[in-house]
Amino acid sequence: MQISFTAEQIATVLNGTIEGDSSIEVNNFSKIEDGRPGTLTFLSNPKYTHYIYTTNASIVLVNDDFVAEHPIKATLIRCSNAYAALAVLLDMVEKSRPQKTGVEPMSYISESATLGENVYIGAFTYIADSAKIGNNTKVYPQSYIGDNVQIGDNTIIYPGVKIYQGCIIGNNCIIHSGVVIGSDGFGFAPEDNGEFKKIPQMGIVLIEDDVEIGANTTIDRAVMDATIIHKGVKLDNLIQIAHNVEVGDNTVMAAQVGVSGSTKIGKQCMFGGQVGLGGHITIGDNANIGAQSGIISNIEPGAKILGSPAIPVRDFFKSSVVFPKLPEIYKQIAQLQKEIEALKSNKN
């Protein structure tokens, strides 16, 4: 934190209830296991409950239903969701920091480009012909904004982002360093001589409002029309979204997910790390796919699956109990086969 807040001030912002010293002040955050005096921390995961009795943090955010089993020296602020409350405070502190504005030297802006009010353009950034940058948007150094790109209001483009021609970014988006938006999709037509003919990728990438894209993620342009990332989607680092993919509202993906071309993903889905999706399939709304799963066919809405190829979570866990026993089971089956053959021989 850049400034100090009392427990009373924090509780007012969060509509929380104080247990302890309402006048105690904090000026920073800390993890509950490493809590320091003068800092605020939180408890939402039951695995960390034991730390609340030993932490030196001055204030701890807890859920309304938290029940203490031992004395706690920290001041508690009870709220409906401690993790969400922490996000509110972090956002408040982030917005209180001085904001960059203006165009720094050594950047290039085409005469036909349009900049909104209160924008920030960092050094060594290139903004190409007919690009449009919205109000209060920040483009950090060494970024490339291609011809006819449109970026909405209050969006942050961190250093080293590359946005190819014609792509559209909505309002309130966050694009982290190293992201490439609008590179060619992996489209090649096999020819009779065994070579591959490149298929021009003539579409764009459309990213709607309130999307966050993690570092070094790549999103390919469509062959025609658009690769679409709908409102509220959150993508982790190192994700690959192929051409003509569509990702539904408020879907979240952890690192190293790979989505093949023309796959349609529904709303409010959750993908663990390293999930791989085949092409031209459909994932229904609210699907939950565990880490390292391989998906080669359509998934029904609300499904919870795991494994490669993926199966229902319950079936996967039942199967996982059997996996270590397979060598012994194989030996037993082989022995039974020998015994059966011996019985047949004796009978004859």
Catalytic residues: 243
Q: Kindly state the tokens that stand for 301.
A: 């809405």
CB-based contact 82:44 (threshold 8 Å): yes
d(CA 261, CA 227): 9
Per-residue burial over 189-225, b = 16 or more CB atoms within 10 Å of its CB, e = otherwise: eeeeeeeeeeeebebbbbbbbbbbbbbbbbbbbbbee
List, edge to edge, every strand of the sheet that includes 180-183: 108-109, 126-127, 144-145, 162-163, 180-183, 218-220, 240-241, 258-259, 276-277, 294-295
Q: Classify strands 234-235 and 212-213 as parallel, antiparallel or unpaired.
A: parallel
- Rg over alpha carbons for the chain, rounded to the nearest Å, is 27
Burial class from Cβ neighbours inside 10 Å (0-12, 13-18, 19+) for residue 111 reads exposed
CB-based contact 285:270 (threshold 8 Å): no
